[in-house]
Amino acid sequence: MLKFLIFCTLAVAINAEIAEEEDVLVLKKSNFDEALQAHPNILVEFYAPWCGHCKALAPEYAKAAGMLKAESSDIRLAKVDATEETELAQEYGVRGYPTIKFFKGGDKESPKEYSGEWGWMRFIHNIGRRHQSPGAGRQADDIVNWLKKRTGPAVATLNEVTDAESLIADNEVAVIGFFKDAESAGAQAYEKAAQAIDDIPFAKTSSDAIYSKFEVSKDSVVLFKKFDEGRNTFDGELTKEALQSFVKANQLPLVIEFTEQTAPKIFGGEIKSHILMFLPKAASDFQDKMDQFKKAAEGFKGQILFIFIDSDIDDNQRILEFFGLKKEECPAIRLITLEDEMTKYKPESDAITAESITQFCKLFTEGKLKPHLMSQDIPKDWDKNPVKVLVGKNFEEVAFNPSKNVFVEFYAPWCGHCKQLAPIWEKLGEKYKDSADTIVAKMDSTANEIEAVKVHSFPTLKFFPAGEERKVIDYNGERTLEGFTKFLESGGKEGGAPAGDDDDDLEPEDDSDSEDGTDDDGHDEL
């Protein structure tokens, strides 16, 4: 009894030290471990005060915290200002905002990443599209449901046929394990696979009536879905890894249309290689092309996600721009990998047939495709004005000219901060227009790509000093004529830093409160 009282006293003391804002615990390095001990299930948001998406999430996050608190749930929501608690952010691999992690049972070593819509949001930043309001995966109900699934049993038990029918009817995708012996190796592997998969419900049954209803004659795993074949039956050795691969390959339609509603499924999944077909739905041959695309998809289930994008929709125009496409150039096929660095691929042929798409995907999976780098044509007057105009086709020759010091602004036409910088950059060009060894230049990075430089936010300013070393120096100083001049006169030392990885996710994201939808640190996300 004494030990219990001491424990309760300590728990109260711990809780007293942790401040709350709208039912959300405010965590710091000093109270983080104590919070994990006091609350067995805790969802932690690592945020930045200037982050537009963090601000958009805040009311829904607080609402979810209040909902759980009202239910007397043992699940709590917390937040960490990652710009202040940098050590904590580094410890948990925070590379973008918001990053949300779920700590279960006080385990601080292997938290579960919240699989909401964050991958989608970052991709949208990369095409410069403004995301106006909380979407799928970011509503209070979504957060609460996600947490309840992770704290309840991973696999439900079905005893009646009506239970199984309801499960299938209520979900777009559901998995049922048919096992007569719940302790068998196969059943145990199934449980482990269910624990590892977040976004679809799993159930199990040993009922003869349910076996009979769904025409199952032996132990097996069946995935039920409201599209394509309707159901898939697992065939192979029942292991956790094999079952995960089976579900991953079959849980999405062969071809999925890109919309804001489907985006979380597209970007939140494990398949990071996506082939896109840009095609207007109103096209007379739409169905024929869709049939060809779907036929090719059958051979790459679980490897490549096949996505259709309606090229007539206004909201999709920035996506076309990101791939260097215009409406009138559609239909078109492109492939992209959504790893740390996005890489695009373009087929040699414009034909949209099952055979041509299959061959293109086959070359990709075999590692035989070269990345597609966009470039505008070199303008005839590219070097006539004080600020030289670079494109993909002349960048290498100009920027890495061993006899020249080249200072380049990488910009986007829609970027508010780039527009603010433009007159200062023109003055800098004017100042050095007669220099024998210094060039001031600019490049539209929405239309031109180069292997040597990865641009993730706008404007990005980089200096390429003369010499054979192909050095690149980032400019991090004040964006003033005086600051730029000191930088150039010092050979890139004052206001410069060695070029790093340009981690876009840690740049301040666009802030919907500011005039241009830009952030307060002078960057627009790419």
How many CB atoms neighbour CB 256 within 10 A?
Answer: 18
Q: What residues contact residue 111 under an 8 Å CB cut-off, 6+ apart?
A: 44, 92, 101, 102, 103, 104
Run of H or E residues at 463 = strand 460-464
Does residue 479 have a pLDDT over 80?
yes
pLDDT tens-digit series, residues 21-33: 999 999 999 999 9
Percent over 90 (pLDDT), the chain: 64
For residue 124, pLDDT over 60 is answered with: no
Given the candidates 3.40.30.10, 3.40.50.740, 3.30.360.10, 1.10.10.10, the CATH classification of the domain at 255-365 is 3.40.30.10
- pLDDT score for 12: 45
- Is-contact 307 257, C-beta < 8 A? yes
The three-state DSSP-derived secondary structure of 423-449 is: HHHHHHHHHCCCCCCEEEEEEECCCCC
**Is residue 54 flagged as an active site residue?**
yes
Catalytic residue among 8, 54, 330, 361: 54
Look at 125-129, 350-354, 418-422, 471-475 and tell me which has the smallest mean pLDDT: 125-129
Class of the CATH domain delimited by 14-149: alpha beta
Say how far residue 223 (Cα) sits from the centre of its chain.
27
Which among 501, 475, 480 has a CA at the least distance from the CA of 490?
475
Q: Is there a common fold for 14-149 and 255-365?
A: yes
d(CA 196, CA 161): 26
**Active site includes 330?**
no
Active-site position among 8, 51, 330, 361: 51
Sheet arrangement for strand 305-309: 255-257, 305-309, 273-278, 332-338, 342-345
pLDDT at 522: 54
CATH for the 387-525 domain, from 3.50.50.60, 3.20.20.10, 3.40.30.10, 3.30.565.10? 3.40.30.10
Question: 390 is written with which tokens?
Answer: 């670079």
> Token pair for residue 179?
């096992």
Two tokens at 270? Answer: 């494990």
Q: pLDDT, tens digit, for every residue of 94-103? A: 877 889 999 9
What is the distance in angstroms between the CA of the first residue and the CA of the last residue of the chain? 60
Query: What CA–CA distance (Å, rounded) separates 178 from 206?
Result: 6
pTM of the entire predicted model: 0.69
Check whether 41 has a pLDDT greater than 50.
yes
Instruction: Name the H helices within 274-329.
Output: 286-297, 317-322
**Window from 109-118, 256-265, 316-325, 463-472 with minimum mean pLDDT:** 109-118
Domain ranges of the chain: 14-149, 153-250, 255-365, 387-525
| Mean pLDDT of all residues in 368-385 | 94
Pick from 24-38, 187-201, 285-299, 464-478: least confident: 187-201
The confidence score (pLDDT) of residue 253 equals 94
Between 184 and 153, residue with greater pLDDT: 184
Mean pLDDT throughout 43-49? 94
153-250 CATH: 3.40.30.10
3-state helix, strand, coil in the chain (%, to 5): 35, 20, 45
What are the phi and psi torsion angles at 120 (to 5°)? -60, -45
CB 243 within 8 A of CB 235: no
Give the count of beta carbons closer than 10 Å to the beta carbon of residue 418.
25
Instruction: Give yes or no for residue 145 having a pLDDT over 60.
Output: yes
pLDDT band at 13 (very low <50, low <70, confident <90, very high): very low
The CA distance from 349 to 81, in Å, is: 49
Q: What is the mean pLDDT of residues 64-75?
A: 94
Catalytic residue among 8, 330, 361, 418: 418
Band (pLDDT 50/70/90 cuts) for residue 199 is: confident
What are the φ and ψ backbone dihedral angles of 273, each rounded to 5 degrees?
-105, 120
C-alpha to C-alpha distance for 475 and 463, rounded to whole angstroms: 7
pLDDT score of 104: 87
Q: How far apart are CA 380 and CA 389, in angstroms?
A: 10
Share of the chain above pLDDT 70, in %: 86
- Among 113, 114, 116, 112, smallest CA distance to 135 is for 116
Of 113, 93, 109, 110, which is closest to residue 101 (Cα–Cα)?
113
Average pLDDT (237-245) is 94
By the 8 A CB rule, do 112 and 102 touch? yes
pLDDT bucket at 304, cuts 50 / 70 / 90:
very high
Query: If you average pLDDT over residues 495-514, what whole number do you get?
Result: 44
- In this predicted structure, the answer to whether residue 35 has a pLDDT above a threshold of 70 is yes
Given this model, what pLDDT does residue 105 score?
79
Average pLDDT of the residues in 330-351: 90
